[in-house]
Structure 1
Amino acid sequence: MKKQRIIGMFDSGVGGLTVMKEILEQLLDVRIVYFGDTARVPYGNRTQEELIRFGEEIVTFLIGQGAEVIVVACNSSSATALPVLRERFDVPMIGMIEPGARLAVEKTIAGRIGLIATETTVRSKAYSTAVSRALAKGCLPENLTLREAWQHGEHPIALTKAQGCPLFVPLIEAGLANSEQARGIARTYLAPLHAAGVDTLILGCTHYPFLAPVLREILGEDVLIIDPAWAVVRELETLLRHLDEWEQSGLIGSPSQAQGKNPWRARYFVSGDPELFRQVGNTLLQEPIGHVEQKALGE
């Protein structure tokens, strides 16, 4: 029987559960240790120095829990802290920015990509850079007309509008993702994207998929919503396959697998209130997430 890899995942709160759900549904041979930094949510207004420090504390904890791969299921941390974390830890890490940008490039039909994200992610311009990098590395749209036009220099493909949405995360963490309040705020945030004529919208925060029904209601059928979690699963699958190959070739050691007869699939840790996380998580996922343990990190 193929062994189950342990994936460490962290986010500022419940948002990363959207990524976790995609991974568990599509990759059967993994287990996830999830850390929600709910005592310090939101991350969207944090400095780079703070996000690096938070990331170091959490990654150290997740490695101590047996994590072989880290998924930084937070766009703010992916945009600002991930490069530093990769330098400081000898464990493979996957962020949200590059996979999401590549998927948007593949799916756009008019070349006008939009982004909603936290203010930290928007200020970083990480997604704009990632879209340009994806094109430079040969990632092309699936739409043949757009692809040929771009290759002949006749049509631009770029992130044309990025919108900060600072109120979305607090709404979702409060369990108000499907409220009239959320709809009113979403209309305000999406208006500039409508005006810019975007055809593809990247959800640049792992909390935002919980707002997908509201966003689709406002945007209509003409705008494709991109959840980077889909692309993260694809990248994680490739990475895990490489880990298997490296172990078989002896390039890396094989971790012990003390799983027992009924190994867990997910374990949850938070820095804040475990019961609040469980209640909001259960409501948003519409399924039980089980026991949540509190683990204080830093000050």
Structure 2
Amino acid sequence: MIGLFDSGYGGLSVFRVLKETLPDTPLIYYADHEHCPYGQKSKEYLINRAEKITEVLIEQGAEIIVVACNTATAAAIDHLRNNYDIPFVGMEPAIKPAALSSITKAVGVLATEGTFSGKLFNETKEKYAKDIKVVIQPGTGLVELVEAHKMHTYKSWQVLYPLLKKMKEENVDQIVLGCTHYPFLFEDIQKLAGEHVTLIDPAPAVAKQVVRIKETILDFPEKGKAQFYQFITSHADVKNFRASVLKLVDVNDDNTLFAYDWS
């Protein structure tokens, strides 16, 4: 079983890619709604939440855990790897493919403040984008849009337009979606940025890394094994949680459980 966690629904953008990539593998997803959003939380706070969630996922049988949140990855993944004996896969800023593909030599990055202040982002930027203009933009309000299912609405355009304005002025031709919530706004961002701009979703690269770990460290489950999905929320409103998940990913009640965790 593979476990994933995020502050809310954003990590489902990774879940859906893993579901397609590994159709015979059980997946368990933890949405930390009681503590969402993560963007402005302290590193210590996020490490504490990551520990609690990791322990829940391990208790449920997770053998690999995907930190399906850029902010939590920046704050906590080193701590998790040092304190637990299972593999962790984090969300890496996709600056390298953006920089290598850019023709205008200007790329944009939409992310949270927590991601921009993380060591991994700054190391990646320094290593791969020395000769590239990197236009960073905190995605203020975007997590809240996705959590409220306001994608593809006039409200989403109102929020996105000022965030993308500077990127358009700087002639970026690649935009890195540096938060797992943002792929759910892919169509809106693409329309505002223009068809000449390539949007980079890191979820496929994360799925490839999970497959590599399964091939080199763990055994694949037998072919034909029944799919099983479990979704856990730290918010008591499981009924609304279930309805929201079913809007965002293709699962059905025959092989899916929804649960509440108070920790």
CA 1:291/1:28 → structure 2, altered by over 3 Å: closer, same or farther? closer
Contact 2:234-2:260 at 8 Å conserved across structures: yes
TM-score normalised by structure 1 residue count:
0.80
Q: Corresponding residue for 1:69?
A: 64
Deviations 1:11-61 (A, max 9, x none): 001111110000111223422111000111100111100000000001111
Displacement after TM superposition at 1:105 (Å): 4.0
Among 170, 174, 181, the alignment partner of 1:207 is 181
Contact 1:18 1:207 in 2 (8 A): yes
1:268 aligns with 2:231: yes
More moved, 280-289 vs 187-196: 280-289
- Give the Cα–Cα distance (whole angstroms) in 2 for the partners of residues 287 and 65 of structure 1: 19
Q: Which residues of structure 2 form unaligned runs of 5+? A: none
Give the 3 Å change call, closer, same or farther, for CA 287–69 of structure 1 in structure 2.
closer
Question: Taking structure 1 as reference, are residues 237 and 269 closer, same or farther at Cα in structure 2, changes over 3 Å only?
Answer: same
2:246 paired with 1:282: yes
CA–CA distance in 1 between the matches of 2:21 and 2:106? 30
Distance in structure 2 (CA, Å) of the matches to 1:19 and 1:265: 16
Whether contact under 8 Å (2:174, 2:200) holds in the other structure is: yes
Q: What displacement does 1:125 show? A: 6.0
Which of these residues, 109, 132, 156, is aligned with residue 115 of structure 1? 109
| SS of alignment partner, residue 169 of structure 1 | helix
Sort the Cα spacing of 1:126 and 1:287 in 2 relative to 1 into closer, same or farther, 3 A: same
Tell me the residue number matched to 1:161. 135
Quote the sequence identity (%).
Answer: 32
Q: Aligned in 2, Cα 1:262/1:179: closer, same or farther, shift over 3 Å?
A: same
Find the counterpart in structure 2 of residue 177 from structure 1. 151
Over 3 Å counting, the alpha-carbon distance change for 1:286 and 1:90 in structure 2 is: closer
Aligned-pair RMSD on alpha carbons?
Answer: 2.3
Distance, in Å, in 2 between the alignment partners of 1:89 and 1:184 is 43
Question: Following the alignment from structure 2 to structure 1, what is the Cα–Cα distance between the partners of residues 83 and 76?
Answer: 11
- Of the two, which has the highest radius of gyration? 1
Correspondences of 1:73-92 after superposition (within 5 Å): 73-92=68-87
Deviations 1:129-155 (A, max 9, x none): 22434x49xxxxxxxxxxxxxxxxxx9
Q: Residues 79-126 of structure 1, C-alpha deviation per residue, up to 9 Å, x if partnerless? A: 11111111111111110115x334434543343221101122123364
Give the secondary structure class of the aligned counterpart of 1:217: helix
For 2:206 and 2:102, the matched residues in 1 are separated by 18
1:195 aligns with 2:134: no
Q: In structure 2, do the counterparts of structure 1 residues 56 and 275 end up closer, same or farther at CA, with 3 Å as the change threshold?
A: same
Give the C-alpha shift of residue 62 in structure 1.
0.7
Unaligned runs of 5+ in 1: 1-5, 137-154, 248-253
| CA distance in structure 2 between the aligned counterparts of 1:264 and 1:28, rounded to whole angstroms | 7
Secondary structure of residue in 2 paired with 1:15: coil
Alpha-carbon distance between aligned partners in 2 of 1:285 and 1:219, rounded to the nearest angstrom: 25
